[in-house]
């Protein structure tokens, strides 16, 4: 089941690539069909897995490389639990949205959609892997389509940004690989389940170094201050769909890695350094928010706001309790929806105005009431308005973290005032004011794919905000074992 889920998009990518040139415009339909099917599978997995059961479900496993002499083996192993199921669903969902917002792509559509589909498989692989080396392979695999999509279909300094993105990630993952190898060789297994059951007590190099080596990759990906400068560049120059996936799903690989690997596999070190993580989290929230206030480019602004919001994920992580970890996992999911939607609307605005300079945009609400209203909803969700998804995640994080990390939590709560500042100020500058002559010819979102992309995300943001229980019940069972390990260590 999970194998099908994992490789369906890759298979689709092959078919898309093999489409005859005459039918290259059907690539988008094929991509949509494949991703639709993937989303259905992801939803089935999300609903059908028994959240009450401990451990991984739908496990597919066989031995890939066995090195009996060295006492270890590498496996192909997939599984889901309450932590990965929401991420799988999010990936499936935003992937469909990404195809929808790409419906206007006419430049080499076969290649574009093929890479986009391959990206989905790579990210799915990260969320489903139960083996460290397999995790690493998918982690690296994601870079290839990202690099090509940004440099091939982006705007502005796209090659610079794409290269920067790759170099940053590679630098991080080099450390991660070393960390994984040390851990795996010390335990004789790369199986995440085995390693989590009996955390490594001693290894070739001090475990605290291993911890930071592994964290390096995750913290770059999340990203946290000061490892964040690749993000605004990558976003600004990426095509809309790639921004949606990048902010919506790829950043979550960092948070997911921390929750899945760094914490359970190195619980002692996680506790030892929890205050340092909290400090980084507080800094990321506040610094990210202050920088966001300075942005003149709409897309850069949303990108920097993501940096600030990812600080909340790390804040939840640093507190190590069930509630805080659940808050972090929730924040990953809700931020995916919210920032995905923000990038969709920014992309739709850019499609129409061909500028992202906030100073040039004004009074757009007169011409684009639907896009404007949707962006206001997304913005309000982003600033943590109750009734929308972001609040549930942030509030849970705060409740969970304030006891263990009071200073960082207070910094985090301070971040919501700044968030109100940059969101509302942006809305004021871009959408309100008298109608502008220059934009009098714009048309609102009328195409079905634009409306479907926005509508589905708005619906989910409201649904999670009002009735979060189905999601929180799943996530709770995903983080309880991690919190239990942390409590024992």
Partner 1 sequence: MIAGLGTIPEGALWAIYLAPVASFCAIAALLRGRPLAAGRLTIAAVGLTWVLSMWALASALHHDGEPLALQAHTWFSVGGFEMAVGLHLDGLTAVMLVVVTTVALLVQVYSTGYMHGDPGYARYFAYMSLFTGSMLGLVLASNLVQLFVHWELVGLCSYLLIGFWFDRPSASAAAKKAFIVTRFGDLGFLLAVLLVGTKTGIFDIQSINELAHGGALGGAVLTGFTLGLLAGAVGKSAQFPLHIWLPDAMEGPTPVSALIHAATMVAAGVYLLARFFPSLDAAPAEVGTLVAYTGGLTALLAATMGVVATDIKRVLAYSTISQLGYMVMALGVGGYVAAVFHLFTHAFFKALLFLGSGSVNHATGTFDMRLMGGLSRAMPVTFATFVVGSRSLAGVFPLAGFWSKDEILLDAWIHHEWVLFALGVGVAALTALYMFRAIFLTFLGEYAGGEPGHGGAPHESPASMWVPLALLAVPAVAVGWLNVGGGFGTFVEGALPEEMRHFEFDVHPVVLVSSTLAAFGGIGAAAAIYLYRSPPPERVRAACGPLAGLVERKYYLDELAETVVVRWALHRGIGRAAAALDRVVVDGVVNGVGRLSLSAGDAFRRAQSGQLQAYTSMLLAGVVAVAVLLFVFGGEVLAE
Q: Which stretch binds partner 1 (CB under 8 A): 89-97, 257-265, 288-296, 447-455?
A: 288-296
The answer to whether 107 contacts partner 1 (rule: CB under 8 A) is no
Of residues 369-428, which lie at the interface with partner 1 (CB under 8 A)?
Answer: 380, 385-387, 391-392, 395-396, 398-400, 402-403, 409-410, 413-414, 416-417, 420-421, 424-425, 427-428
Among 88, 365, 411, 454, binds partner 1 (CB under 8 A): 365
Taking the CB of residue 140, how many other CB atoms lie within 10 A of it?
16
Smaller CB separation from partner 1, 39 or 259:
259
Q: Shortest gap between Cβ of 396 and partner 1 (angstroms)?
A: 6
Query: How far is the CA of 183 from the CAs of 1, 134, 179, in angstroms?
Result: 29, 14, 6
Query: How far is the CA of 249 from the CAs of 221, 234, 243, in angstroms?
Result: 11, 14, 10
Of residues 196-255, which lie at the interface with partner 1 (CB under 8 A)?
Answer: 225-226, 228-230
Smaller CB separation from partner 1, 58 or 115:
115
Q: Shortest gap between Cβ of 376 and partner 1 (angstroms)?
A: 9
Among 21, 50, 62, 68, binds partner 1 (CB under 8 A): 68
Binding pattern for the stretch 5-44 against partner 1, x by CB under 8 A and - elsewhere: ----------------------------------------
Q: Shortest gap between Cβ of 202 and partner 1 (angstroms)?
A: 17
For the chain, what is the largest distance between any 2 Cα atoms, rounded to a whole number of angstroms? 75
Of residues 142-171, which lie at the interface with partner 1 (CB under 8 A)?
Answer: 143-144, 147-148, 151, 159, 163-164, 166-168, 170
Q: Shortest gap between Cβ of 233 and partner 1 (angstroms)?
A: 9
The answer to whether 489 contacts partner 1 (rule: CB under 8 A) is no
Residue whose entry in the numeric block shows the structure tokens 């993000």: 231
Tokens of 14: 């092959």
Taking the CB of residue 32, how many other CB atoms lie within 10 A of it?
19
Q: Looking at residue 77, what DSSP letter applies?
A: E
Q: Shortest gap between Cβ of 298 and partner 1 (angstroms)?
A: 16
Q: What gap in Å lies between CA 330 and CA 179, rounded to an integer? A: 27
Q: Which stretch binds partner 1 (CB under 8 A): 4-12, 33-41, 342-350, 477-485?
A: 477-485
How many CA atoms, within 13 angstroms, populate the side-chain half-sphere of residue 409?
Answer: 20
Q: How many residues bind partner 1 (CB under 8 A)?
A: 87
Smaller CB separation from partner 1, 403 or 440:
403
Nearest to 241 by CA among 115, 138, 141: 115
Nearest to 295 by CA among 187, 464, 423: 423
Of residues 117-146, which lie at the interface with partner 1 (CB under 8 A)?
Answer: 133, 136-137, 140-141, 143-144
Nearest to 41 by CA among 14, 6, 15, 10: 6
SS3 content of the chain, % helix, strand, coil (to 5): 75, 5, 20
Among 20, 55, 69, 441, binds partner 1 (CB under 8 A): 69
The answer to whether 483 contacts partner 1 (rule: CB under 8 A) is yes
Q: What gap in Å lies between CA 117 and CA 12, rounded to an integer? A: 7
Of residues 176-205, which lie at the interface with partner 1 (CB under 8 A)?
Answer: 177, 181, 185
Tokens of 103: 């419906």
Query: How far is the CA of 152 from the CAs of 109, 160, 460, in angstroms?
Result: 11, 12, 32
CB 188 within 8 A of CB 71: yes
Q: Shortest gap between Cβ of 249 and partner 1 (angstroms)?
A: 20
Of residues 311-350, which lie at the interface with partner 1 (CB under 8 A)?
Answer: 321-323, 326-327
Q: What gap in Å lies between CA 119 and CA 244, rounded to an integer? A: 12
Among 129, 173, 240, 405, binds partner 1 (CB under 8 A): 173
CB 267 within 8 A of CB 486: yes
Of residues 453-472, which lie at the interface with partner 1 (CB under 8 A)?
Answer: 468-469, 472
CB 76 within 8 A of CB 61: yes
């Amino acid at each position: 089941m999970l194998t099908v889920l994992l490789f369906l998009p890759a298979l689709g990518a092959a078919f898309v690539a093999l489409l005859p040139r005459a039918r290259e415009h059907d690539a988008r339909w094929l991509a949509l069909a494949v991703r639709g099917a993937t989303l259905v599978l992801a939803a089935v997995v999300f609903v059908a897995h028994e959240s009450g059961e401990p451990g991984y479900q739908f496990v597919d496993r066989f031995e890939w490389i066995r090195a009996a002499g060295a006492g270890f083996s590498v496996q192909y192993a997939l599984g889901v639990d309450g932590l990965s199921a929401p991420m799988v669903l999010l990936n499936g969902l935003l992937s469909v949205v990404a195809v929808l917002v790409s419906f206007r792509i006419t430049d080499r559509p076969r290649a574009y959609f093929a890479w986009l589909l391959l990206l989905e498989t790579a990210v799915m692989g990260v969320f489903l892997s139960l083996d460290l080396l397999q995790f690493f392979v998918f982690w690296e695999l994601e870079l290839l389509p990202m690099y090509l999509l940004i440099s091939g279909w982006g705007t502005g300094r796209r090659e610079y940004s794409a290269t920067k993105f790759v170099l940053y990630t590679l630098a991080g993952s080099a450390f991660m690989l070393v960390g994984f190898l040390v851990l795996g060789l010390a335990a004789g297994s790369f199986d995440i389940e085995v390693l989590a059951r009996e955390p490594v007590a001693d290894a070739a190099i001090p475990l605290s170094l291993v911890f930071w080596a592994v964290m390096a990759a995750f913290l770059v990906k999340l990203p946290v201050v000061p490892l964040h400068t690749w993000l605004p560049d990558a976003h600004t120059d990426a095509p809309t769909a790639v921004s949606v996936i990048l902010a919506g799903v790829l950043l979550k690989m960092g948070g997911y890695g921390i929750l899945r690997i760094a914490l359970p596999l190195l619980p002692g070190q996680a506790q030892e350094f929890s205050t340092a993580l909290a400090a980084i989290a507080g800094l990321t929230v506040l610094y990210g928010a202050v920088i966001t206030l300075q942005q003149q480019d709409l897309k850069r602004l949303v990108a920097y706001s993501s940096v600030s919001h990812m600080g909340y994920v790390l804040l939840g992580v640093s507190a190590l309790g069930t509630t805080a970890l659940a808050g972090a996992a929730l924040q990953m999911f809700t931020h995916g929806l919210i920032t995905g939607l923000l990038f969709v609307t920014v992309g739709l605005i850019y499609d129409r105005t061909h500028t992202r300079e906030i100073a040039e945009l004004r009074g757009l609400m007169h011409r684009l009431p639907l896009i404007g209203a949707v962006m206001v909803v997304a913005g309000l969700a982003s600033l943590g308005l109750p009734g929308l998804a972001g609040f549930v995640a942030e509030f849970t994080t705060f409740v969970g973290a304030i006891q263990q990390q009071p200073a960082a939590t207070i910094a985090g709560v301070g971040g919501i005032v700044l968030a109100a500042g940059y969101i509302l100020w942006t809305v004021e500058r871009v959408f309100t004011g008298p109608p502008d002559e220059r934009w009098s010819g714009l048309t609102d979102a009328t195409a079905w794919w634009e409306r479907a992309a926005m509508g589905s995300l708005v619906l989910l943001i409201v649904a999670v905000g009002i009735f979060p229980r189905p999601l929180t019940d799943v996530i709770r069972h995903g983080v309880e074992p991690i919190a239990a390990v942390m409590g024992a260590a």
